[in-house]
Amino acid sequence: MQPANFISSGSQNAHVQRTFRDIVNIGPDCLERFIDSTNAPEIKALDIELAGCSNLSGAYQVGRVTPPNHTIFYSLKGSGKILTPSGEYPLPASSVIILPAHQSFEVQIAHFDESSAPQLDEAPRPDQAPWDIIWLNLSDSPRWQHFFDVEHPVQHNIELSGLHHAMELLYLETNSQHRQAVIPIIQQYLQHIATPVKSTHQVRLSALFAAVEKQLQFNWDIDALVNKVHYSAPHLHRLCLAQFGRSPMQHVIYLRMVRAKNLLISTQWPIAYIANYVGYSNVFTFSKRFKKSEGVPPSEFRQRHSLE
């Protein structure tokens, strides 16, 4: 997108109009990849009007007055802030904000100061760290009607890197069949965003065990878990029992067994290799634990599934 510095008058009442403007102030160091109905017509199936992946640096200020569509911003790296009639919301990495249709807003890169913004031919200031985001404009259609009922617009510690990769692939892929295959992935993530977060504890537990799943080979113990999530051991125990019906360490074992079963079925890796991969340096300990969990040793489990 070419650098722009454009302001037009809005259409709200006088009070709000003095606060929010239709404004696009995007400096030359910002890179944006737009996804629309011309390069990805498949997005119409999800009532997505426009979407993009943006690498922002320096000047970045975009404002809308009563936009007709819903807008979602997800922060991948760095930080920005969103101004709305109900307040100002910081948007650090791994945070998403849902802005319902007809609500004015302004989005800025962190530390942006309109009065001292660099000119288009100036380099970005050192205190304006880069901000990587993805964003989507969704039609005000029955599919997304529940966005009007979102109680807390910002969700923190949410993992949407899969949505980012799917959008990048949608932008790059020239084959329509391949683009079509990405649409269900995007739909699943959007539905996940729209699901109300019941509690902060659930978000923190999800983030904790998502981290565990990424490092099943790590020697997880209760001390490592509580240091990661910043809960006391008794409190973490109570939360895990309520959420999963298992203690924290039992849930770690559960995740390891799920991964082990998938690897036994989908690969020909030696059992000792799989044991190490999911955190057991001793194959006999792994086999014993696996049999306790699944009722059969790993070798028999693999053999049974290879015959199916």
Q: Do the strands 154-155 and 79-84 form a parallel or antiparallel pair, or are they unpaired?
A: unpaired
pLDDT at residue 82 above 50?
yes
pLDDT of residue 267: 95
Closest CA to 112 of 125, 122, 97: 125
pLDDT at residue 90 above 70?
yes
Q: Are 185 and 206 within one domain?
A: no
Q: Are 283 and 164 within one domain?
A: no
Strand partners, 6: 24
Distance, in Å, from the CA atom of 77 to the CA atom of 39, rounded to the nearest integer, reads 26
Last residue of a domain, one of 167, 194, 221: 194
Last residue of a domain, one of 161, 194, 227: 194
Q: Are 184 and 209 within one domain?
A: no
pLDDT at residue 56 above 80?
yes
Q: Could you identify the residue written with the tokens 């302004």?
A: 106
pLDDT of residue 65: 95
Q: Are 136 and 204 within one domain?
A: no
Distance, in Å, from the CA atom of 261 to the CA atom of 268, rounded to the nearest integer, reads 12
How many CB atoms are located within 10 Å of the residue 203 CB?
Answer: 15
Q: Are 190 and 259 within one domain?
A: no
The tally of CA atoms less than 13 A away on the side-chain side of residue 188 is: 12
Distance, in Å, from the CA atom of 25 to the CA atom of 88, rounded to the nearest integer, reads 19
Tokens linked to 220: 């997880």
Contact 249, 237 (CB under 8 A): no
Q: Are 68 and 131 within one domain?
A: yes
> Taking the model in full, what pTM does it have?
0.64
Give me the domain span that covers residue 278. 200-306
Residue type, 69: N
- Sequence-distant (≥ 6) Cβ neighbours of residue 88 within 8 angstroms: 81, 82
How many CB atoms are located within 10 Å of the residue 291 CB?
Answer: 14
Last residue of a domain, one of 136, 166, 194: 194
Q: Are 103 and 190 within one domain?
A: yes
Confidence of residue 6 (pLDDT cuts 50, 70, 90): very low
How is the beta sheet containing 131-138 ordered, strand by strand?
31-35, 48-56, 131-138, 70-77, 95-99, 154-155
Closest CA to 5 of 52, 63, 71, 56: 63
Q: Are 187 and 210 within one domain?
A: no
**Structural domains in the chain (count):** 2
CATH of the domain at 142: 2.60.120.10
